Each structure stands twice: as C-alpha cells, then as structure tokens.
Chain A
C-alpha cells in the first residue's frame, strides 16, 4: 500500500481496493437503507508491489457489492453478474473457479502439524505439486482418510464430484459445514444456466484476509492472469460501526480485461463521434454555426486562427476532425464542407449537411 503522513502526523493511505471503503460508507452513511443493498463502483485503486513482475501502480477497478444477505441466491446473483459482465464486454469462454476461504484453514488444523509444517503443506497444495504432497503426507504419518480427502479435494473440479466427498468428521472442525454451504450454490447456478462455467478449486483462497466464505476468480483461456474475483465477507461491516451485515462482491481489473480482449482478437469498435472544425471570416456566424452543430449532438470546434483555407484543412486532418466547414457571412447561404477522409469538398446548407451525417435537427 502507498502510505504517507498528513501534516498533523496522521498516516494516510491510497486505497488499494474498494470493498473496505464501500463497507465503511454503508455502515456510516447508508445504515438506514433497506437491505439487501446493491452498490457498484468504477474507481482507480493504487497498489505498491515490490515484485519484479506486474510493476503497475495505478489500476482501474469495476466492482459490485451485495450487502445484507447471505443466501445462496445472493452468491449466485453475484457470480451470474460477473459472467454476464464479461460476456457483455465481448469476452469468450469465461470461466469461474470457486473455493472457500476457511475450508483449507480448518483442514490444516485437523492435521495437527506445527505452524511451519502447515505452511509447507499449504504451499504444496497451492503449487499443485502432487508428488511432493504425497511424500509429505507419508512422512508426516497422515492417516489414510485424511490423505485421501486432501488428494481428492485437490483433484475435484466439478461441483458434482465435490458433493460426493464427506468432511463431516468432528476432527475436521467446520470443514464439512463450509463445504455443504459452498455446494448449495450448485442449484442456483443451474437456474442461471452457468453451472458449466463454474469449477471447484480447493487451493483457491485469495490473499485478502476479510473473506469468510466462498471466494472466486474469473479467467479466460489465452490470457494468463485472472481478470478479477471476489468473495463473501460476513464480518467486515461491523469493523466500521455497530452494523452487522453479511456481504459478497467482486471486482474486475479493467486493464487486464482489455488485455484479455486483445488476446482474444476482439475488434474494438471505432469511436463514432463525428468532429467538425468550423471556420469563417465572420466570427458571429461561426459561433452561431458551432452552436447549431453542438445542439445536433455533433462535436464542433471553432477555428481561432486566421490561417488560409488550405492550412485550416490540413490542421483539421491532422487533428482528427472528420470535416472542416467554411461558413459565409450568413447561415442563409450554403456552407462549404470539406471531408478529411475523402479529400472531397461540397456545398450544402448547414442543416441539410447535419441531417446527412445523422445529427439531430428539429
């Protein structure tokens, strides 16, 4: 995080993500809103990483939060919204991987290993290094049930496969409960028609600490980094006040989404806003013309130089103007329209010309 000191010595920080600020706003300013509350944001966030890779510091994030409800329907709505947002952007083969923030934690506790060995186990699971995982479990005398359970959890992808697992031993803490809660979403996803896009990933825990339940990450093939993700955070709100509200949300990294679109050979639509440069010997008529063009919903610039006609045309071209329009002393007379793209000029009444290029005229 970027941190610095205020003049009175207080520590200030640039926001590294938006969920905590949103939680603060809800508990301090929106506490009387009926729940569930649904909010969205499109904001810049700032992160400092010492890492070699991914050196950017400033990111655009677009995200949503659904606050005040912890049903599977709420979870499903957020996942479905994530998928449809990316599809609407034009991304293909969107895939969601879901895990649970506490599932691994509880199972690691069940191993009765010391902190250091738990870290080793966590990293073996996170790295999908099955050979060393099996060796590690053997060396540390895991019983066959636990060994089997961990291996199956790392291998399961389909939610259906996961539902055949049982973690209901008292030794596993709340792991069984977590898994059952997570799997409840299956039917909701089916109703949204996106169950085939959603996969289970035991090793997915996301690095943010406030997550309490389901966590997820979204990706597309052909682009090597996740596009965004999120999760359920049922105890964050109460840190900012008396309000206790469960919540779930996601954030998309806009720059990564753009890169992914490029990787998928997406044709970005060209900007369609037409731009016109207006020039006239009569300043008053030129100003009048600019107003009429803008009222028609077309962008207009007034030529403020006293350049000759050919220079003005050249400027219009270089500045990306679609047309240069030369106005006489009165708009009762036709104007000369010069089109940058075709190098062709013609004479027309201003309003007729605006109608031809799709401007709104009354």
Chain B
C-alpha cells in the first residue's frame, strides 16, 4: 500500500503528553505540530493527527485513521469496533458513579427510581443502570458533569476519576465503580490487514520500550 499510516493521538488533556512521548520513545518524532492538521513525522511511513480523545475511536472505526491512542472507556462509550491492540499502561482511571457527600445514597441500591444521572458517558451509563435494574434518566453533558449535583441538574453523576481530586473538590463521593480503564493503542480492522507488518514492528518497539 502506497500511503502513510495515520496515527491519531489526543490533542489535549492528560493523555496527550504521554502519547507524544510514547511515539518519541519508539523513534517517531512529530514535526511541525503547530501549523498543520496532518503532521509529518521523522519516520516517513507514519503521519500523526491530533484529535479529541473522545472522537479517536470513531475515527478508527471508519478508517479515517489507521491507528489511534485512546482510552478503553472511550472505545466502549463510542461502541467502536476496533482492534484493541495494546494496553499502553498510562492514563489509568476509573469510571465511577458519584453523589454529593451529604447524600443519603450510599450505594447503587439506594438510588431512587426517579433519579437523574449527568454524564458524558451516556452509552456506558445507560447499559450499566439497565444491567443493575435501575430506571434512571440519563442526561448527556459535555464535560464538567461534576457540577451537575451542585446546581440541581442531577443527583448522580457518572464520570472518570484518576486521583479522586476533582470529586473531592466538588464534595462528591464514589458509590460504585463501573470499570477500570487505561490508554490503548487501537487499530482499524482493515488497516490491520493492510499494514500488518508495520504495525507488528511498531508494537514490538513499544513493548520493548515499556
């Protein structure tokens, strides 16, 4: 195949820096990041685009990029059918159910049937509450779900937590953990067929390094 292999990495947030570093460690230096949308790299076989981590699984699913660095939680949330090739180890976090510290709710069993849940993770949340037999209203919000209880938007939130800092700051307590997540190297299924050799080489280098 006569084209470059396209890798998507998160354009901001806590996943960006370790992703760039991971590529550096295996000899892929990103060139001219500032000015361009698709960045050349020091290895002519690869090019890099910066994208929202939340969108990376969808880019991969459709083959807009061949490989991507994104969270396991996001792959599940976007219901993307991709190869989850490698656990990169960084970006450890948990997807948790949280309520205000002074709430009478201490576990998911205490959740009343009219509760509202604010979250960015509407798909995972819907499935989770269906699974435990709790009928709740899921409100999709973009970021800052942790503010929802304070302003009376929802009594419950589902959000990621890595250190617990944000939850504590907003006087929230965790009542359940839905899943543990880490950053993954994911791959489009057709691209894997096309570039199997190059991808195997990449994986070997990352493993050797980490």
Chain A: residues with CB nearer than 8 A to chain B? 50-53, 93, 95, 97, 127-132, 157, 199, 219-226
* B87→A97 contact, CB < 8 A: no
* B85→A225 contact, CB < 8 A: no
- Which residues of chain B come closer than 8 Å to A130, judged between CB atoms? 203
A224-B62, A226-B190 as given contacts; A131 in contact with B78, CB under 8 Å: no
A129-B84, A131-B87 as given contacts; A95 in contact with B193, CB under 8 Å: yes
Complex-state Cα separation, A199 to B189, whole angstroms: 14
Range class of the B interface residue count: 20 to 34
* A52→B78 contact, CB < 8 A: yes
* B193→A53 contact, CB < 8 A: no
* A224→B84 contact, CB < 8 A: no
Complex-state Cα separation, A252 to B193, whole angstroms: 19
* A221→B123 contact, CB < 8 A: no
Q: Please provide the 5 A-B residue pairs with the shortest distance between their CB atoms, ordered closest to farther.
A: A224-B63, A221-B194, A127-B84, A51-B79, A219-B190
- Say how far B60's CB is from chain A's closest CB, in angstroms: 8
- Which residues of chain A come closer than 8 Å to B63, judged between CB atoms? 222-225
- Which residues of chain B come closer than 8 Å to A127, judged between CB atoms? 83-85
User: From DSSP, what is the main secondary structure of chain A's interface residues?
Assistant: loop
* B193→A97 contact, CB < 8 A: yes
Residue B43 at the chain A interface, CB threshold 8 Å: no
- Which residues of chain A come closer than 8 Å to B3, judged between CB atoms? 222
Complex-state Cα separation, A131 to B192, whole angstroms: 17
* B190→A224 contact, CB < 8 A: yes
Complex-state Cα separation, A114 to B1, whole angstroms: 42
List 12 A–B pairs whose Cβ atoms lie within 8 Å, in order of A's numbering: A52-B58, A53-B58, A53-B62, A53-B80, A93-B1, A97-B193, A129-B83, A129-B86, A131-B87, A221-B193, A222-B1, A225-B62
* A225→B190 contact, CB < 8 A: yes
- 17 A-B pairs besides A52-B79, A53-B58, A220-B190 with CB distance below 8 A are A52-B58, A53-B61, A53-B78, A53-B80, A53-B81, A127-B83, A127-B85, A128-B187, A128-B192, A129-B83, A129-B86, A130-B203, A221-B194, A222-B194, A224-B60, A224-B190, A226-B190
The CB with the most chain B CB atoms within 10 A, among A127, A220, A224, is that of A224
Residue B191 at the chain A interface, CB threshold 8 Å: yes
Residue B17 at the chain A interface, CB threshold 8 Å: no
Interface mask (B53-74 → A, CB under 8 Å = 1, otherwise 0): 0000010111110000000000
- Say how far A286's CB is from chain B's closest CB, in angstroms: 52
Among A128, A157, A223, point to the contact of B190 (Cβ < 8 A): A223
Interface mask (B1-17 → A, CB under 8 Å = 1, otherwise 0): 10100000000000000
- Which residues of chain A come closer than 8 Å to B79, judged between CB atoms? 50-53
Complex-state Cα separation, A93 to B63, whole angstroms: 16
Complex-state Cα separation, A93 to B80, whole angstroms: 25
- Say how far B33's CB is from chain A's closest CB, in angstroms: 25
A259, closest chain B residue (CB):
B62
* B193→A129 contact, CB < 8 A: no
Residue B198 at the chain A interface, CB threshold 8 Å: no
Complex-state Cα separation, A53 to B63, whole angstroms: 12
Complex-state Cα separation, A97 to B196, whole angstroms: 13
* A131→B190 contact, CB < 8 A: no
A52-B123, A97-B193 as given contacts; A131 in contact with B83, CB under 8 Å: no
B190, closest chain A residue (CB):
A219
